[in-house]
A and B are shown apart, each in its own frame.
Chain A
């Protein structure tokens, strides 16, 4: 689904920058925290590096690689001209020159591609290139009602994936087998990708890649479950205990949930991201854990989610961006606290006039898996 309002927004930016053509590049290496401009502007999820050329009159040409992926692009990008090539740089240069070699070209996302692709484009376009870095991020900063509806659906999918974790995790199972099960389950539900971080340990210090570790009674299982579907990533952060929950674990989880509630209350439109992060930190600090509100005990208090736009970026005390109604991101006071280890607590949220509203229906709670 292509939001026409985004195209219009970019056209206005083109006029503001005095460019006649806009080139938005998307690398093959997908990123849960980045805009996929090709998908936003054309509807096509690229396999190789790709580019969308947007003319001032709204005409779109999507250039995809590899050459044999043309048919899928035509299917998914109705209304666009499709060019498929194994030489993206050559194809982009040729398509951009269709109306002459003097036009000014606004460029976004070129730096996400490899030097071998970037160099010939920079050489050809030279001074005609007008940096419009971040234009696509800004175009998608406020999600539309339809996009928020999709995000809620993907959040429901994430909750089902956590249910699955609770259902299949058992002592004796290798971590990689659990991760694989969840990944395949998410695909069966309709996710086309999943940024899945998970780890199991008696006292984890943070998430780690799943390995050959065998799940054991007493392990905390951490899950940063982040399915992507219909061009939207959503993330929930959950913690489960393989066996009974002890008092310290429950106390620590309660502190993180308090932090989460402080963040939700602070996340009203008009407040800064830094304000939200500070409120979340204060909720932890008041229990005597202020020294743990920094790396390596934590990273950030949440972050934006791709593929439309990952604004407002990392939820940190140094981010002065003002929250706007309709922004979505994951808010997560994930961190290490002494006695219980690293825990994950987090919900995807949408910013409203009064607060940050969770997109999930069942909030994070420390869950015991009977063994």
Chain B
């Protein structure tokens, strides 16, 4: 879900090498380099910013808090990280990465030309990751440097998405922890709401639980009209919602967990339908499952209800270093689940303008079985 991006992210940000040791990053980079060989790429240039930094984080552990970064990967060796930080701050930023080769962006064209030389990149194609997300001045500098160096830009997105779709064992350990923190966050929300807390107090208590459990980031959206519309926090609200729909997302050591919860004194038909639909999706989730399979599975449970507008047709999607990873699993979409994938499942339903409900779960398809990482209470 799109949430309000804060001006800076400030949860527990440092790499915990007990959870993700340097050798894990070495293995990831080696896998990316194998991919480069397979595709005939001389190098990879990956873009990341505070909003989305999946592959930059995957290869360097660096998630920019409010600026931009590039991960540069040659055919051998460790990546070079380029940070948009000045002389005072570069050491601080470098401390967030697992490897030592961290530099200031400076004149980006020059910086890239130096890297081409250091990495022995003289000819061929350089794969670009998240080219579409680059800010125009970064994009112009990257394309300019490639052109000046006689190099060609290639689109590496699909190959990298595929690489990151299957979660490595150590990634799964961290995703499980992120899901656990999500569970505690939602439990706090539910307890606060049951104790009569206002919308604001309940949401802030929930975010506090996420941060107290060492979350790197915590986001929420909530509804004050029974689930019809969702909103981010923009001012304190004293009111209490009788039917409280909340979306919560937490990030831990780079990995996201997310979900919707619908809280009410009495579960009505639409809420029961959403919950049943989630269970039906969990039951059919396996490698090869596509959006149409999920839609067929939930059809008997959701008959008579319309899909909620906020989900724009999506039933599930990959989740990991991005909140919304490929594949998107919606009716008609070609993407499918894979073994070792982690997925966020959500059903949002509406009937008329007064009845709305959401339910969610997070699953992994590791070890030949479906593991429910978290499900909405």
Contact with B along A38-53 (1 / 0, CB 8 A): 0000000101100000
Residue B31 at the chain A interface, CB threshold 8 Å: no
Would A32 and B8 count as touching, CB distance under 8 A? yes
A30 an interface residue at 8 Å Cβ cutoff?
Answer: yes
Q: Considering only CB atoms, which chain A residue lies closest to B64 in the complex?
A: A29
Bound complex: CA A211 to CA B15 (Å) = 9
The answer to whether B211 touches A179, judged by C-beta atoms less than 8 angstroms apart, is yes
- How far apart are the CA atoms of A304 and B207 in the complex, in Å? 30
Cβ contact within 8 Å between A296 and B88 = yes
Is the Cβ of A115 less than 8 Å from the Cβ of B8?
no
Question: Are B11 and A179 in touch, CB under 8 angstroms?
Answer: yes
CB-defined contacts of B309 to chain A, threshold 8 Å:
67-68
Q: Which residues of B contact A210 (CB under 8 A)?
A: 10-13
Judged by a CB distance under 8 angstroms, whether A288 is at the interface is no
Tell yes or no: A31 within 8 A of B by CB. yes
Q: B372 in the interface, Cβ–Cβ < 8 Å?
A: no
**How many residues of A are counted as interface, with CB atoms below 8 angstroms from the partner's CB atoms?**
59
Closest chain B residue, CB of each to CB of A294: B87
CB-based contact A111/B137 at 8 Å: yes
Partner among B10, B50, B136 whose Cβ is within 8 Å of the Cβ of A183: B10
Q: Which of chain A's residues 146-177 have a Cβ closer than 8 Å to chain B?
A: 174, 176-177
User: Is B118 among interface residues, defined by CB-CB distance under 8 A?
Assistant: no
Which B residues between 201 and 243 are near A, CB-CB below 8 angstroms?
201, 204, 207-208, 211-212, 214, 229-236
A233 to B8, CA, bound (A): 13
Closest to A175 in B: B12
Q: Which of B16, B96, B139 contacts A115 (CB 8 A)?
A: B139
Q: A29-B49, A31-B7 are in contact. Are A116 and B132 (CB under 8 A)?
A: yes
Would you give the shortest CB distance from B87 to chain A, in whole angstroms? Answer: 4
CA distance A49 to B69 in the complex (A): 20
Q: Does A184 contact B (CB under 8 A)?
A: yes
Docked-complex contact B211 and A209, CB < 8 angstroms? no
Q: Are A195 and B92 in contact (CB under 8 A)?
A: no
Whether B236 pairs with A47 at a CB distance below 8 angstroms is no
User: With an 8 A cutoff between CB atoms, is A94 at the interface?
Assistant: no
Contacts of A181 in B (CB 8 A): 208
A297 to chain B: closest CB distance in Å? 7
Nearest residue (CB) in B for A229 is B235
Which one of A32, A174, A180, A205 lies within 8 Å of B207 (CB-CB)? Answer: A180
Most buried by B among A47, A66, A212: A47
Name B204's closest neighbour in chain A (CB-CB). A184
Inter-chain CA distance A212–B214, complex, in Å, is: 8
Stretch in A5-13, A185-193, A322-330 with 4+ CB within 8 Å of B: A185-193
Interface: B89 (CB within 8 A): yes
A64-118 contacts to B (CB < 8 Å): 65-69, 71-72, 86, 110-116, 118
**A251 CB within 8 Å of chain B:** no
Neighbour of A196 across the interface among B4, B8, B204, B231, CB < 8 A: B8
Q: Is the CB of A211 within 8 A of B14?
A: yes
Residues on B with C-beta less than 8 A from A297 are 88
Chain B interface: which size bin? 35 or more
A87 to B209: give the CA distance in the assembly, Å.
35
Q: What is the 8 Å Cβ interface bit string for chain B, positions 34-50, against chain A (1 contact, 0 not)?
A: 00000000000000011
CA distance A115 to B88 in the complex (A): 29
Instruction: Report the minimum CB–CB distance from A64 to chain B (whole Å).
Output: 11
Looking at the assembled complex, report how far the CB atom of A121 sits from the nearest CB atom of chain B, in whole angstroms.
11
Q: Which residues of B contact A233 (CB under 8 A)?
A: 7
A228 within 8 A of B: yes
Which of A66, A114, A177, A209 sits near B2, CB closer than 8 Å? A66
Which residues of chain A from 178 to 231 have a CB within 8 Å of any chain B CB? 179-181, 183-184, 187-190, 192-198, 205-212, 226, 228
B147 at the interface (CB under 8 A from A): no
Set of chain B residues within 8 Å of A145, measured between Cβ atoms? none
A365 on the B face (CB < 8 A): no
How close is B188's CB to chain A, nearest CB, in angstroms? 12
Chain A contacts for B230, CB-based, 8 A: 68
Q: In the complex the two chains form, is B135's CB within 8 Å of A180's CB? A: no
Q: Select from chain B the residue with minimum beta-carbon distance to A306.
A: B7
> Measured between C-beta atoms, what is the minimum distance from B45 to chain A in Å?
13
Q: B92–A28 contact, CB under 8 A?
A: no
Judged by a CB distance under 8 angstroms, whether B283 is at the interface is no
CB proximity of B98 to chain A, nearest CB, Å = 15
Q: Indicate if A299 sits at the interface (CB-CB under 8 A).
A: yes
Q: How many angstroms from the CA of A251 to the CA of B208 in the assembled complex?
A: 37
**From residue B311, how far is it (CB to closest CB) to chain A in Å?**
8
Central interface residue in B16, B132, B204, B211, by most chain A CB within 10 Å: B211
B135 near A111: Cβ-Cβ < 8 Å: yes
Question: Please, how many angstroms separate the alpha-carbon atoms of A184 and B235 in the complex?
Answer: 12
| B80-123 near A? 1/0 per residue, CB < 8 Å | 00000011111110011000000000000000000000000000
Residues in A with CB closer than 8 Å to B195 are none
- The CA of A45 and the CA of B232, in the complex, are separated in Å by 10
Instruction: Determine if B312 and A48 form an interchain contact, defined as CB atoms under 8 angstroms apart.
Output: no
Asked if A355 is at the interface (CB within 8 A of a chain B CB), the reply is no
The yes or no answer to A298 lying at the interface (CB within 8 A) is yes
Name the contact of B5 in the complex, choosing from A29, A183, A207, A228 (C-beta under 8 A): A29
With both chains docked as a complex, state the minimum distance between the C-beta of B134 and any C-beta of chain A, in angstroms. 5
Q: Contact at B7–A195, with CB atoms within 8 Å?
A: yes
Residue on B nearest A66 in the bound complex, by CB: B2
Q: Which of B10, B49, B86, B204 contacts A295 (CB 8 A)?
A: B86
Q: A30-B6, A114-B134, A116-B132 are in contact. Are A180 and B235 (CB under 8 A)?
A: no
Contact residue among B10, B49, B86 (Cβ-Cβ distance under 8 Å from A299)? B86
Q: List chain B residues, Cβ under 8 A from A299.
A: 86, 88-89
9 closest A-B pairs by beta carbon, nearest first, are A180-B211, A116-B132, A295-B87, A211-B14, A176-B12, A209-B13, A68-B310, A32-B7, A115-B139
Q: Given A176-B10, A180-B207, list of 15 further CB < 8 A pairs?
A: A32-B8, A45-B4, A45-B234, A68-B229, A176-B12, A180-B212, A183-B207, A184-B211, A187-B204, A190-B236, A207-B89, A209-B65, A212-B16, A228-B7, A295-B87
13 pairs of residues in contact across A and B, judged by CB atoms under 8 Å: A29-B49, A32-B8, A47-B3, A66-B312, A68-B230, A112-B135, A114-B133, A116-B133, A184-B204, A193-B7, A194-B6, A209-B92, A211-B13
- Give the interface of B toward A (CB within 8 A): 2-8, 10-14, 16, 49-51, 65-66, 86-92, 95-96, 131-137, 139, 200-201, 204, 207-208, 211-212, 214, 229-236, 309-310, 312
